[in-house]
Structure formats: C-alpha cells, structure tokens
Amino acid sequence: MLESAVAGLIAAVQWPAVGYLFLGIALGIYFGAVPGLSGLTGMAILLPFTFGMDPVSAFSFLLGMYAVTTTSDSITAILIGVPAGAAAQATVLDGYPMAKRGEAARAFGAAFTCSAIGGVLGGLFMGLSIPIVQPLVLSFAKPEFFMLGLLGLTMVGSLSGRSVLKGLTVAGLGLLLSQIGYAEQIAIPRYWMNSIYLLDGLPLVPVVLGLFSLPELVALAVSNRSISDVPREKISGGSGIWLGVKDCFIHWWLLLRSAVIGMYIGILPALGPTIADWVAYGHAVQSAKDKSQFGKGDVRGVIAPETANNSVKGGDLVPTVAFGIPGSAGMAILLGAFLIQGLTPGPEMLTTKLHITFSMMWTLIFANIIGAVLLMAWTNQLQKIIFVPANLILPGITFFVLIGAWTAGNNIGDWITLLVFGVIGLVMKKAGWPRAPLILGFILGRIMENSLHISMAAYGMSWIFRPICIGIAIAIVVTLAYAIRSHMRMKADKTTVDVTDADAGNDRLSLGFAVAVCLVLAYAIVASFAWPPTVRLFPLAFSIPAIILAAFAVFVDWRSIRLVGAGAVAGVAGTPTTFGLGGLSQEWRRTFYFFGWLLGVIAVTVLLGQHVALPLFIALYLMVWGKYRWPLALGYAAAGLVLLVVLFDYMSPTTWYPAILLP
C-alpha cells in the first residue's frame, strides 16, 4: 500500500497532471464563489473536457475543481449573507453577523483554515480507510438511513435558540415542503396547487436564497448603510486573518469532531455536504457550554460547517471508488469520468489501479491547501466590500441573488419561489421563528420518505428492531432530552442573551405564523386522504406530530401575549413595531417598496427579458432609491450587462426567459 501511495503522489505532481490541478483549482474558486453555480455545475461542465486525458490528469482536473468549491462558496456567505452554494448555508448564520460586526477577515481566516484542514483530513481518510470501510457501508440499509434522518432532525432543536418546540415544528414544515410534486412510489402529484411548475417539487436554491438572503437584502435596503456595523478605521485586516487562523487551533477539538462528522456523512451515499454542514453546526451549538453568541457571530459557527463540508468530500469518494455507489450528486458525475477513462469502481481501484486511487487522495489534499492559501491572500481585498454603502452594493447583490435563483431551473417560477420564501423568511425572522430547521427538513424529506417506504416493503415493522436502528433511536432520545434540558436552563436564566431568531421576536406576529402553520398542516393532512396509503404514509407520519407541536406553539405565544399585556407588543430585539389603522411603520413600508422593485424585475423580464430587466433594475435603483447620478448608474448597469453576457451567455450558457416583446 505504501508503494501505491508513493506512486500516486509522484503521478499527481507530474506534468500535465499538476497543471490540470491548478487549472481545476482556479475554476473551482470561480464555480464556488458565484451564487447559483456549484461544484456540481462545474463537474457537469468540465466532464466532457476529460476525453483524451490520462486518468490521473482527468481526476486531478475534476477533483481539483470540486475540492475548493466548498471553500470559496463561503466568500459571499460571509460577506453579504448569500450562500453561493447549498454547502454554505449554515456558514451564513454566524459568518455574515461577523462581517456585519467588522470581523470579515477573522471569519475568512477561520473558514479558509478549517476548510483546508478538513479537506486534508478528508483526503487522508479516503486514502487510508477504503480497505476497512466496506463492512460499515454495507451495514447501513434503508432503515438506518431513515433513522439517521430522524437523528438529524432532532438536532434542529439545538438550532432553535430557546424554543425546541418552534424548531421541531419548522422542521415538520420543511418535510412538508419536500413532498410537493410527484410522489416517488406512484406518479400522483401532491400539494401542487394545479401548477405545472410544482410537479417536479420546489427547487432548493430559490428556497434557500429566499429564506436567508432576501431578509438581509431588505435589512440593507431599509437601513441604507454598509454591511459592517463597525467603522472601517477600527478594523485590522491582517491581524483579523491570523486571529481567525488562531481560532481554528483554539477550537481544535470542535474542528476534529466536525471533520469526523463530515467524513462519516460522506461515506453514507446520497447525503453529502448539504447535510454535513447543518449537522456539524447543530453539533457545535449543542455541545457548546456558552451558546450566547451562536447566530450572532460566533466563530465556532463558521469553523464547524466549513470543516465538515470540506472533509465530506474525502468520505464521498470512499463508496464511489470502492463500491461504485456515489456519495453525492457530484460523485455521480465523477462516475462518468471512470467510464470515460475505462475504469471500473470496485476491486480494480483497490488492487491494480490503487495508485490512481491514491492520486485522488493527494489531489484532494493539495487542492484544499492551495485553494485556501490563494483565498487567504485575497482576504484583505475581499473584506472591503462590507464598507461599501448599502445602496451602492445592494443592486449588485440582488443581481447575483436573482441569477442564482434563476440558474436553479431556468424558470420564471424560480423567481416567484424566491419572492414567496423571501416573504416567509422575513416574517419568520421578525416573528422569532428559526429558519435553519426548515431547510434541513426540506433537504432530508425525500431521502427519508424513500428510506421509509423501502424499509416497510422489505422488513414490515421489524426494521425498527434492527440493532443499528435501536442505537440511533437511543441517540435521538438522548439528543432531544439534552436539548430540552439545555433550553429549559436558558429560559430559567433571565440574564441569558438572545441566541437565534427564535429568542426574540414579535409575539403577535409569531402567533399569526403559528396559526398559519397549523392551517397549512391541517390542509396537508386532509388532502393526503385522497391518495393511496403508500403515497400518504410519509406526509401523515410527520404532519400529525407537527400539527400537535404547532398547536402548542399557538398556545405558548397566546399565553405570552396575555402575560405581557394586550397593549404591549415586543418587536425584534425589543424594539416596538407599529401596526396601526393609519398604516405601517416606515421600516415595513420600505420593505414593501423593496419587494415591489423585485416584482417589477419579474414584470419587465416577462416583457423584455433578463438582459433588459436586470441592468434596468440596477440603473433605476441607483438613481431613484440610492440618489446616485446617472453616469454612475449607467456604468454600473453596463457592467452588470457585460457580466451577464460573459459569465452566463458564454462561460456558462444559460437559458433565459423568452420575452414577449423581444425576440
């Protein structure tokens, strides 16, 4: 094995493999940093270029690109609160608040360092564990995957501030959203509202951007200031980077645990970095003694997900190479490279082609280190964006959010989904309901449903008594008990500061949202009885517990309002929010105006297309809302149009909306 490891190292650093590695890293930074693109997109685009390459060069090119996308996707997540990819969603929760506090450099230092370490550990794990992981992977069947999903959902309690009740309720709502579209067992549409767009289900990217990005854009538009809450002169650039690097080593035990979480989730097929970052973040919150700063800019909330979503890639390669079972969607495309190269995953890759397998390990290690070093060198330039006035930077951010949502499915429905979930995300934020559990439930829903149906068909109810299932069930009970106990202590301690969205909010708005959730779940339960038993099994399995939890949430909010007094309405962070007959507060009026601008973009797109609508939005927003002069507005709009054409017409060809008035 040592000889094969050395042979793989030599092959990975020889020309032309090393040249393709650097080219892949450069492209990976681009694919990771641009919202709407991802490592999966990069894999799909670059795969045809591997024809004619030798195997080591081909895998260096693809894996060099794929490895760094979950490092560079933290750039927009930290700077502007927009996750460039699904694997950066959890990073937003604490990375963006750090940027607002003027600690973008520190967040980058921590993110890039732990990403590199996580990637290196994942690569080493991939190279060293293949001979011994086969029994572990094969011991997990569909029942274990279902129970593992339940374990992940119980961890949302630790993402829910002082309200485990709200966190679990929102998780149930996320599971419900995952059921929209055709059922997997029988081609029967569920919850599709007679809309053809919903037959394939809700796309993940617009949902995530709506829940997390639009509320932050609204906050910028309303406040009319820069992202940073701290003056520029009080920020230290280089020292901030090294402070973030130091944080990784201070919290080395959390880093190692998060790396193990990522590697373990990686070897379980079909999960991948999208789930690993949430589970690692949940573990960081749950295992911390001091939870007071999570959701407000705790560096541990950056370290855990960024470590996990990089280490997961080494784990992804294990079932892909050893058994031909893709560990993630990106690995499914990588199997195409095996076909192109005439290689067969399995015994061949562990015997006669073992040196190629080890070359993949070295590629992951080198790519993560080189990518992190390059991004670290650019940190001081990257963080300058947080000091730009909001009205100047906001059109550009909105541009990328809209493009990111569009590239999910190239459908105008994606923009409507973005706006709908933007409203939902804003209401949840103002009402004090956590948003992270909803995304986790949405991601896990289809995986859990498929696992449950196969488990019932293969084992009946006896799958519950499988040894690993029993062990996971015990872990679920312990996790939930620990979370409830921890949150009860936080509630009892009146001096504890607010931790997440669920700790502070408008009680009346929260009550209204809880009632709305009850109505939605009630509709879901009633509608499901029109379907065959196999189709309604999973929706009923979670909707009934979720509506009970939602009813308790209604009671809790109603009681809170009664205790405070009918006339006292606590706003977010303790600020009164005005809802009177004479109209809404200025904050809410500006919020509605901003959503009006976004609706205008959709309307102009339908008539004239994106190439007119997006630059026009940039120009008019700068002149009307931002009060900037027309030369700057037109120049900004022209730059947006050039970016649109270069990046999305030529470099990554995109299908645009067929405008009514223009060919």
* DSSP labels, 522-587: HHHHHHHTTS-HHHHHHHHHHHHHHHHHHHHHHHHHHHHHHHH-TT----GGG----EETTEE-HH
Rounded to 5 degrees, what angle do the CA atoms 452, 274, 216 make?
120
- What string of H, E and C letters represents the secondary structure of 286-330? HHCCCCCCCCCCCCHHHHHHHHHHHHHHHHHHHHHHHHCCCCCHH
| Average pLDDT along the chain | 78
* Cα separation of the two ends of the chain: 61
Q: Which of 449, 431, 487, 391 is nearest to 185 (CA)?
A: 449
Q: Is 148 exposed, middle or buried (0-12, 13-18, 19+ CB in 10 A)?
A: buried
What would the mean pLDDT of 304-326 be, rounded to a whole number?
77
- Read off the pLDDT band of 139 (50, 70, 90): low
Distance separating alpha carbons of residues 90 and 78, to the nearest angstrom: 10
Tell whether the model's pLDDT for residue 3 goes beyond 80.
no
Structural domain boundaries in the chain: 2-504, 583-651
pLDDT digits (tens, 9 = 90+) for 435-452: 777 877 887 788 788 888
pTM above 0.75? Answer: no
Distance separating alpha carbons of residues 384 and 382, to the nearest angstrom: 6
Q: Which residue has the tokens 């149930």?
A: 172
Q: Which residue has the tokens 């809700």?
A: 202
User: How many Cβ atoms are within 10 Å of 465's Cβ, its own excluded?
Assistant: 11
Pairing of strands 583-584, 579-580: antiparallel
Distance separating alpha carbons of residues 437 and 155, to the nearest angstrom: 9
pLDDT digits (tens, 9 = 90+) for 93-117: 888 888 877 777 888 888 888 888 8
SS3 for 500? Answer: coil
- Read off the pLDDT band of 177 (50, 70, 90): very high
